Structure 1
Amino acid sequence: MKSKTINIIGLDFFNGEVDEVVSALEEGGLFVFPSGPGLATIKTDEKYHQSLKAADLVIADSGYMALLWNLTQKEKINRVSGLEFISAFLSDTEIQKNSNILLVNPSKKEADINLSYLQQCGFSLTEYNSYLAPFYDKERIEDVELLRTIEEKKPKYVLVNLGGGVQEILGAYLKENLSYKPAIICTGAAIAFMTGEQANIPDWADKLFLGWLVRCVEKPNLYIPRYLAAIKLISLMYKYQASPKVI
């Protein structure tokens, strides 16, 4: 897919509409939706940084980053949130009809909830379409069993529902080691917003880049420290604009 991109902190972010992202899945590859807190770590987490660089499409999911960029730059970035994407992906009739998906889930509970939700959406899925991920060592995020499972089942879409900083590295590992090119989609908690396992973010809040606020109100102890850490992104963006070689 030849897409228009904008380079922000050394990464080429896709600058288009959600339907273009869904269409791009046909070509396969690695699709990442990095968060603001995640982007703030790219100078200290080299593996995470390299996994973002390995992606075929880096989508501007972070409302915080998009807002900072659009307030300070002439050329604007169009934010496509993980929630907006997953909604478009799950409502696509061709994808529903195909149902050739493997879900990579963090727990049996979430696997059951996600399968049930997708079945309600019109997908013909069973436990065959679900893989329960182990607890990965952050220093070595590899999974030979997952590779074997994907090679055996040959899904067209691999939907990785794990935490940021892990799923992207795992996705880059899969892309490098698989013998074919499925669409590896790293949307993390996005599906949990749909199932109700995480805060219900209204469309208006998502469009106004306020999803972070909804999450902070629901679980302040978890999310307030996480988003405060993302403040580093301000200085990172400033330094990169002043001297692109710093990243």
Structure 2
Amino acid sequence: MQDSNQVHTETVLGVHFFTGDVHAAVSRMLQGGLLVVPAAPALKDLQTQPAYRQALLEADLVIPDSAFMVLVWNYMIAPRLRRPQLRRLSGLEYLRALLERSEVRVPGSTFWIMAGERPASLNLAWLAQQGITVPVSHVYHAPMYGAADAVALTDPALLEVLDRVRPAHIIVTIGGGTQERLGLYLRRNLKYVPGIHCIGAAIAFLSGDQAAIPVWADRLYLGWLLRVIDEPKRYGPRYWAARHLLQLMLRYGAGLPPLLVSRPAA
């Protein structure tokens, strides 16, 4: 469970979002623990995805990556509740700062969980260009864990590898909604406490696996738009569905929404 005495946070929808700068976030995570970077399309399911919800509540650091959430909070919720505004901290900004630290540039210090062979190839090539060598033993191709939250996410093979090689940092680059569940599974079951960084597609914006997002676009909250322009059929519906987060925030504000448990089919 996150210790709010260690970091400054602001509570949105019952989740403690980090309010410091990127360097403070990286310094905290170099001590170990679970970091998650929830995006609006996944946050909207906070009431219906119990394992995802629990991952956000148990994470050691939750950074406010969602531009939509930050804007709604700052201009519609915070003034009404007389609460401080949030400063957006994107997963891309966090990853850039993390990879600048000497601790994570040592070969074997990081273990990368990749979404497949093509993303892994592009990501590893980009890391090599940055002077970061990742041994083959420290790359894992994630299986299809299943999108349904009711499916218990387990991966004994991954646990065995991690407990054997014991990297200081595990960087998870798979999809939002799944990576948080995987991060929580690792946090609960590993025999030691590494830094578990669930940064999702952040590295894909740098490696060429997805649409390139320059620093200026990230700072102007335009990353989502570049992704939609690049792959409209894939990301258009996803970001359109994120509009439901507005209703959730207007109704519950800082409070944790009740969990809606659907009845099993007869």
Q: Which moved more, 1:41-50 or 1:107-116?
A: 107-116
> Which residue identity lines up with residue 35 of structure 1 in the other structure?
A
Of residues 188, 195, 200, the one that matches 2:200 is 188
> Which residue identity lines up with residue 46 of structure 1 in the other structure?
P
Of residues 218, 225, 228, the one that matches 1:213 is 225
Whole-angstrom CA distance in 2 between matches of 1:245 and 1:24: 25
Q: Percent identity?
A: 40
Of residues 220, 230, 244, the one that matches 1:232 is 244
Superposed displacement of residue 44, structure 1: 1.1
SS at match of 2:75: helix
Whole-angstrom CA distance in 1 between matches of 2:213 and 2:25: 21
Whole-angstrom CA distance in 2 between matches of 1:31 and 1:245: 19
Whole-angstrom CA distance in 2 between matches of 1:65 and 1:25: 23
Segments of structure 2 that go 5 or more residues without pairing to the other structure are 259-266
Superposed displacement of residue 119, structure 1: 1.7
TM-score, length of structure 2 as denominator length? 0.89
SS at match of 2:93: helix
Could you tell me whether the CA contact under 8 Å between 2:35 and 2:198 is conserved in 1? Answer: yes
Whole-angstrom CA distance in 1 between matches of 2:246 and 2:107: 42
Superposed displacement of residue 98, structure 1: 5.8
Whole-angstrom CA distance in 2 between matches of 1:246 and 1:222: 28
Q: Which moved more, 1:173-182 or 1:96-105?
A: 96-105
Segments of structure 1 that go 5 or more residues without pairing to the other structure are none
| Cα 1:150/1:245, change in 2 over 3 Å | closer
Task: Say if 2:144 is the partner of 1:135.
Answer: yes
Superposed displacement of residue 245, structure 1: 5.8
The corresponding residue for 1:172 is 184
- TM-align CA RMSD: 1.5
List, as ranges, runs of 4+ consecutive aligned residues in structure 1 with deviation greater than 3 Å. none
Whole-angstrom CA distance in 1 between matches of 2:119 and 2:38: 21
Of residues 93, 99, 106, the one that matches 1:97 is 106
| Cα 1:246/1:130, change in 2 over 3 Å | closer
Could you tell me whether the CA contact under 8 Å between 1:115 and 1:126 is conserved in 2? Answer: no
Could you tell me whether the CA contact under 8 Å between 2:12 and 2:255 is conserved in 1? Answer: no
SS at match of 2:62: strand
Could you tell me whether the CA contact under 8 Å between 1:108 and 1:132 is conserved in 2? Answer: yes
Whole-angstrom CA distance in 2 between matches of 1:154 and 1:204: 36
The corresponding residue for 1:126 is 135
Aligned residues: 246
Task: Say if 2:24 is the partner of 1:13.
Answer: no
| Cα 1:245/1:8, change in 2 over 3 Å | closer
The corresponding residue for 2:263 is none
Superposed displacement of residue 194, structure 1: 0.7
Whole-angstrom CA distance in 2 between matches of 1:28 and 1:229: 34
In terms of fraction of residues, the more helix-rich structure is 1
Q: Where do residues 143-182 of structure 1 align in structure 2 (5 Å cutoff)?
A: 143-182=155-194
Superposed displacement of residue 99, structure 1: 4.6
Could you tell me whether the CA contact under 8 Å between 2:204 and 2:210 is conserved in 1? Answer: yes
